[in-house]
Chain A
Amino acid sequence: MRTGKLKRNDPESKDPYTESMRESIRKVEETREERIESEVPMMNADERDEVLNKYHPDYKESGMRPLRAGPNSGDEMPLELAELLEAYPAVDPSSVDLTKVDHEVDVLVIGGGGAGTVSALWAVKQGIDPEDILIATKLRHGDANSMMAQGGIQAADREKDSPAAHFLDIVGGGHYANKTELAKALAKDAPGILQWHEDLGVMYDKNEDGSMKALHGGGTSRKRLHSAKDYTGMELMRTIRDKARNLEIPVEEFSPAIELLTDSEGTVTGALLYNMETEQYYVVRAKSVVMATGGFGRLHIQDFPTTNHYGATADGLVMAYRAGANLRDMDSVQYHPTGAAFPEQIVGLLVTEKVRGSGAIPVNREGEAFVYNLEPRDVEAGALIRECYGRNNGVETPTGMKGVWLDTPMIDMMHGKGTFEDNLAYIYRLYTRFGIDPTEDPLLVFPTLHYQNGGIEINKEGKTALEGLFAGGEVEGGVHGKNRLMGNSLLDYNVFGKRAGISAAKRAKEVGWGELSLKHAEKYSDQLDDAGVDEDRRSPMLVPEYRGEETLSRSIDLL
């Protein structure tokens, strides 16, 4: 890489760090050598509980409220999500004509990210003609959190490891709230998924003998994290998408589903799509529907910045819930411990856990290590928040944000010069673009909204509570309990995308097309009326609102 060109964001090449930040960095530099020799011990169960209870955002009561309608009535949800679930359909059911069907397919896949694409590929393997599948997606095929995953994917493929050890890590990390049949499927399918990837031509990081490079992730008992530099998600997504393109599986881009369609029994029989550019709707009739819309990071729960992709607005949860599917574990949100806190342009973007897996340690303003570098994510995030706001040992940025240092220069010191740039190419590029060299200076980080731990409840076949509706990937819940471990989300979309795709294909071979209605939406609206919900509230959201306040305050709708 020719780094010279990367300075273009700062034509004057000034030091992006302020003098007070530099002062703190000097303390970090002074303690670096001894930090390489010593290690902060891992917390015991009681210490972990204390950090979580006091500092993790999930435990803040004012951030949640119980739902007033639908199958999860009474369950606590983040406020921002509750607002969307307790909302009327974006489209007035009486304004659409469901008798004119635009697409009649065996399998409709809602969402063109990892889970959706994997489910379509396995539906084809199951004997469904690609022409009889439709992937409907909000932005472009592959625009998804799947593309952004950096650190890697877990699989117990090494001699020293076993699916049982992986299982135990999953449920312990998830605070024993996981559906164990799902955790078992995740662990057991993992090596087979990697083998499938190899067959598709994914370039995993390997040793010369063909064995895969493996690192620890937070909360893993074995080195089980496999990667493709720190572009693991991108390498998987683009390869899987390439396969789908070769098979010519039809994709409707910029046409998100906005409502499911059901028959009089409540069976899911299709969906209503909305072309965001022409503003017309399309009616899709399908024998099976796979929900694969991903997560909700762009809701900015508790005002956190997010690592998530622009389209992560909980659309799938909204549609499935309105049709009667139950959700689970929605009271637990994953804040990734290390989001960028500086510079301003990249606040909230992910600094992969692989950075800590490679040896970098979080350090406070005084240059002191204060937490073991690979606690499970929720614990690590809680410890960073405690350091900044409980102990007031954070570093303040010019915009008033607080963070702690992630001491990245340790990596090349421990493993040799060039290690960082070779294995963490994305992070290196991300920071050097803004004039910070992570091999020379530490990075300022703070927890960022990263993952929806819960979702639509599924069983091990990827079936939801609704006949005809399947789900895979971040939109579903139960796999990770109350906290997902690193490297298990890429795995999740592959394992449950596959299982949902296979189940959807099997059903499509057995049933005919059903009648199409929006009765479920009308029924749900009645429940909202009874609960006294404001009629102006509509969902799904589709895209977040980031326009400037000045513009919005003077906006009028004429066209």
Chain B
Amino acid sequence: MSEENGSETVEIFIMGKKYEVPKGLTIMKAMEYSGYQYIRGVGCRGGFCGACATIYRLEGDYKLHTDLACQTTVQDGMYLTQLPFTPAGRENYDLEELEVSNNSLLDLYPELARCVSCNTCTKTCPQDLEVMDFVNEAIRGNIKEVAELSFDCIQCGLCAARCPAEIPHHHVAQLARRIYGKYQAPDSEHLEKRVEEIDAGQFDEELDELVNLSKEDLKERYENREIEA
């Protein structure tokens, strides 16, 4: 750490090359400060999209760390690189035709059975999800558990990139969530009923009346509308 123009800076290494940047920036902003303009490795900049998966080492630390560049502050002595893309196999399927059973996930992703429980996926996850736990649930055929444990997955693919068994965890989890959402979550009967009512034209008269009101009349209706507590 050093002082430059009165403000604190840290020394980082972008793909091995040294840069001095203000303290407190995220990895993403530090790279921009250093003069990089992103095309790859950037997306929402808010921790939702998984585009900015990044790996880094710290001086004197043997570990390979993983995180999101938009959500991680630079530290002195960080050796950074961003992953422009994380390749992983994804299987196509037709959710309508899929036979739902305990083996639905294993049928499409037999490599699940190769899991050696090394827990690298869990340690890699920038969302701190229990990735290995949901892989184990997937092997057991517990689709609901996979769906729930994986729900906050942003599909950055870091787990798959590090997995010695070559499991594409994020794709398995996507499949599990869709099966659960479509076939196993409780049905929304009220929604079906409402759609039928709309299709039958039940609300048309009321809506058309509103659409044709003058601005003043609409305003009056709006201001006097009943508000649910």
Contact with B along A260-289 (1 / 0, CB 8 A): 000000000000000011000000000000
- Which residue from B32, B174, B179 sits with its C-beta under 8 Å from A238? B174
A148/B177 contact (C-beta < 8 A), A168-B221, A200-B182 known: no
Top-6 shortest CB links A-B: A201-B178, A551-B35, A172-B222, A210-B186, A201-B181, A201-B182
How many A-B contacts are there with CB distance less than 8 Å? 242
Q: Does B94 contact A (CB under 8 A)?
A: yes
Of the candidate stretches A25-33, A227-235, A325-333, A524-532, the one touching chain B is A227-235
Q: Does A350 contact B (CB under 8 A)?
A: yes
Give every chain A residue within 8 A of B189 (Cβ-Cβ). Answer: 210-211
A168/B190 contact (C-beta < 8 A), A143-B49, A221-B227 known: no
- Which residue from B24, B33, B46, B191 sits with its C-beta under 8 Å from A212? B191
Q: Which residue of B lies closest to A162 (CB)?
A: B203
Of the candidate stretches A76-84, A187-195, A471-479, the one touching chain B is A187-195
Query: Which parts of A302-352 form the interface with B (CB within 8 Å)?
Result: 307, 309-310, 344-346, 349-350
| Distance between A368 CB and nearest chain B CB, rounded to angstroms | 24
Of the candidate stretches A61-69, A422-430, A505-513, the one touching chain B is A422-430
- Which residue from A164, A208, A350 sits with its C-beta under 8 Å from B46? A350
Q: Which residue of A lies closest to B123 (CB)?
A: A5
Query: Which parts of B139-190 form the interface with A (CB within 8 Å)?
Result: 147, 151-152, 154-155, 174, 177-183, 185-190
Give every chain B residue within 8 A of A235 (Cβ-Cβ). Answer: 151, 177
- Which residue from B38, B49, B71, B151 sits with its C-beta under 8 Å from A147? B49
Q: Does B226 contact A (CB under 8 A)?
A: yes
Q: Does A129 contact B (CB under 8 A)?
A: no
Interface contact A200-B207, CB-CB below 8 Å: no
Query: Which parts of A406-461 form the interface with B (CB within 8 Å)?
Result: 425-426, 429-430, 433-434
Contact with B along A43-86 (1 / 0, CB 8 A): 00100000000000000000000000000000000000000000
- Which residue from B67, B92, B127, B181 sits with its C-beta under 8 Å from A202? B181
Q: Does A131 contact B (CB under 8 A)?
A: no
Interface contact B198-A192, CB-CB below 8 Å: yes
**C-alpha spacing A139/B84, complex, angstroms:** 11
Q: 13 interchain pairs (CB within 8 A)?
A: A45-B223, A140-B51, A143-B44, A180-B211, A184-B210, A187-B207, A200-B181, A201-B183, A210-B186, A234-B48, A234-B154, A309-B43, A434-B73
Q: Does B114 contact A (CB under 8 A)?
A: no
**C-alpha spacing A238/B225, complex, angstroms:** 37
Q: Does B195 contact A (CB under 8 A)?
A: yes
| Distance between A451 CB and nearest chain B CB, rounded to angstroms | 15
Interface contact A248-B25, CB-CB below 8 Å: no
Interface centre among B29, B48, B190, B206 (most CB of A within 10 A): B48
Q: Does B72 contact A (CB under 8 A)?
A: yes
Q: Which residue of A lies closest to B183 (CB)?
A: A201
| Distance between A374 CB and nearest chain B CB, rounded to angstroms | 10
Interface contact A206-B186, CB-CB below 8 Å: yes
Interface contact B198-A188, CB-CB below 8 Å: yes
**C-alpha spacing A276/B182, complex, angstroms:** 38
**Other contacts beyond A195-B191, A238-B174, A307-B46: 6, CB < 8 A:** A148-B49, A238-B155, A246-B93, A246-B94, A425-B152, A551-B33
Interface contact A199-B38, CB-CB below 8 Å: no
Interface contact B211-A198, CB-CB below 8 Å: no
Q: Does B194 contact A (CB under 8 A)?
A: yes
Of the candidate stretches A96-104, A117-125, A382-390, A541-549, the one touching chain B is A541-549
Q: Does B17 contact A (CB under 8 A)?
A: no
Interface contact B186-A209, CB-CB below 8 Å: yes
Give every chain B residue within 8 A of A2 (Cβ-Cβ). Answer: 128, 130
Give every chain A residue within 8 A of B115 (Cβ-Cβ). Answer: none
A163/B198 contact (C-beta < 8 A), A212-B191, A238-B155 known: yes
Interface contact A159-B48, CB-CB below 8 Å: no
Q: Which residue of B lies closest to A191 (CB)?
A: B194
**C-alpha spacing A194/B194, complex, angstroms:** 11
A222/B228 contact (C-beta < 8 A), A188-B203, A239-B181, A309-B45 known: yes
Give every chain B residue within 8 A of A350 (Cβ-Cβ). Answer: 46
- Which residue from A169, A206, A242, A429 sits with its C-beta under 8 Å from B178? A242
Contact with A along B10-48 (1 / 0, CB 8 A): 000000000000001110010011111111101111111
Q: Which residue of B lies closest to A11 (CB)?
A: B75
Contact with A along B44-88 (1 / 0, CB 8 A): 111111010000000000000001000111010000000000000
Q: Does A134 contact B (CB under 8 A)?
A: no
Chain B interface residues toward A at CB < 8 A:
24-26, 29, 32-40, 42-49, 51, 67, 71-73, 75, 90, 92-95, 127-130, 147, 151-152, 154-155, 174, 177-183, 185-192, 194-195, 198-199, 203, 206-207, 210-211, 215, 218-219, 221-223, 225-228
Q: Which residue of A lies closest to B214 (CB)?
A: A176
Interface contact A221-B225, CB-CB below 8 Å: yes
| Distance between B218 CB and nearest chain A CB, rounded to angstroms | 6
**C-alpha spacing A167/B218, complex, angstroms:** 10
A277/B39 contact (C-beta < 8 A), A143-B49, A192-B198 known: yes
- Which residue from A201, A245, A548 sits with its C-beta under 8 Å from B179? A201
Give every chain B residue within 8 A of A346 (Cβ-Cβ). Answer: 46, 71
**C-alpha spacing A210/B151, complex, angstroms:** 19
- Which residue from B130, B155, B188, B198 sits with its C-beta under 8 Å from A206? B188
Give every chain A residue within 8 A of B29 (Cβ-Cβ). Answer: 345, 546
| Distance between B71 CB and nearest chain A CB, rounded to angstroms | 6
- Which residue from A158, A344, A547 sits with its C-beta under 8 Å from B36? A547
**C-alpha spacing A229/B182, complex, angstroms:** 18
- Which residue from A158, A169, A234 sits with its C-beta under 8 Å from B190? A158
Give every chain A residue within 8 A of B51 (Cβ-Cβ). Answer: 139-140, 143
Give every chain A residue within 8 A of B182 (Cβ-Cβ). Answer: 198-201
Interface contact A164-B203, CB-CB below 8 Å: yes
**C-alpha spacing A134/B210, complex, angstroms:** 39
Give every chain A residue within 8 A of B222 (Cβ-Cβ). Answer: 168-169, 171-172
- Which residue from A158, A181, A310, A545 sits with its C-beta under 8 Å from B45? A310
Interface contact A164-B210, CB-CB below 8 Å: yes
Q: Does A558 contact B (CB under 8 A)?
A: no
Interface contact B26-A156, CB-CB below 8 Å: no
